[in-house]
Amino acid sequence: MKTFAPKLSRRKFVLGSGALCGGGALYTFGLESSWLDVGRHEVQLGPERSAVPIKLLHLSDLHASEVVGLDYLRRAIETGVSLKPDVICLTGDFVTSHYGQFDRYAEILSALPKCAPTVASLGNHDGGAWAAWRHRGYADTTEVRALLQHSGIELLHNALHPITLKNRTVNLAGVGDLWAGEFRAAGVLPATAGASPTILLSHNPDTKDALRNFSWDLLLCGHTHGGQLRIPLVGTPFAPVRDKRFVRGLHRWEDRWLHITNGVGNLFGARFNCRPEISLLTLV
């Protein structure tokens, strides 16, 4: 018996491929980049679990720009605040390049310190020689520092600040960005562990190697955007890190923790198979 397979004409193939590409582009550039996710992890900081958990909200790579609007960032921040964190850590890239709405941006960010103590480190896009060269950005970090100050957010730029949260003392520390040439750990971080755990904000996860000989317990990073485009069978070829093992998520590394968030914003308005996220870490 003769069977007839449906014939795929050249016209149908071209139309189908075009629709698929158009749909893919619509999804990548129009939908996924603002489809915010909440990533949740539990992190045990000491040898024993604490009976008093601390909720830490980790946000990174907001990238306020023409492709990441303030209405979207307001929604992300409101979502973060609704999780009722005890402390909030921001790990850089507040802008992509030159920016024109700092007053409104500061008003939106100010919701964070009204909710919980909020500290930040800077990223490679926040100013410096790299930002000016690669993205026609700011030659220094004056504008982003002013944004943080007007928002009520404490900048930890090669600095350490002990803080008491729920009767637990935690060292919050932050280092400058690696690519901006402002990274410095010596004189900021202790070489040996003290009584309190240290949570370290460093934009670029590749800094872990330079931080190996210092004492810290949890490293909070962004920078990678989770890879931003995660291609099946290929991976994350565009992740801007040397060590591609650490592109996103929570990892154990040399008896300590490393958390890399996908970030809230993006570059070029695109995300594929890699939703933007805000991260809630429960420290026990």
Residues 53-92 that bind Fe ion (CB under 5 A): 61
> Within 13 A of 156's CA, how many CA atoms are on the CB side?
28
Sheet holding 277-283, edge to edge: 37-43, 277-283, 54-59, 87-91, 118-121, 154-155
Q: Which of residues 86-125 bind Fe ion (CB under 5 A)?
A: 93
Sign of CA dihedral 201, 197, 113, 40: positive
Q: Give dist(CA 246, CA 240) in Å, integer.
A: 11
Closer Cβ to Fe ion, 87 or 267, answer by number: 267
Q: Pick the closer one to Fe ion by CB: 61 or 182.
A: 61
Q: Bridge partners of 159?
A: 174
Least distance to Fe ion from the beta carbon of 96, Å? 8
Please say whether the beta carbons of 213 and 186 come within 8 A.
Answer: no
Distance between CA 15 and CA 28 in Å, rounded?
A: 20
Pairing mode, if any, of strands 218-221 and 256-260?
A: parallel
Near Fe ion in 241-260, by CB under 5 A: none
Which pair of structure tokens corresponds to residue 258?
A: 């490393």
Q: Which of 95, 101, 29, 35 is nearest to 63 (CA)?
A: 95
Q: Which helix (H) or strand (E) holds 200?
A: strand 198-201
Q: Distance between CA atoms of 143 and 157, rounded to whole angstroms?
A: 15
CB of 213 to Fe ion, least distance (A): 27
d(CA 47, CA 223): 30
In the complex, what is the shortest distance from the CB of residue 262 to Fe ion, in angstroms, rounded to a whole number? Answer: 11
Q: Which is nearer to Fe ion, 93 or 277 (CB)?
A: 93
Q: Minimal distance in Å, beta carbon 265 to Fe ion?
A: 7
Place of tokens 């990238």: 63
What's the min distance (Å) between Cβ of 223 and Fe ion?
Answer: 6
- Site size toward Fe ion (CB under 5 A) is 2
User: CB of 93: closest distance to Fe ion in angstroms?
Assistant: 4
217 counts as binding Fe ion under rule CB under 5 A: no
Q: In angstroms, give the least distance from the CB of 266 to Fe ion.
A: 8
- Helix then strand then coil, in percent of the chain rounded to 5, is 25, 25, 50
Quote the least distance from Cβ 62 to Fe ion, whole Å: 9
Residue nearest to Fe ion (CB): 93
Q: Which residues contact Fe ion by CB under 5 A?
A: 61, 93
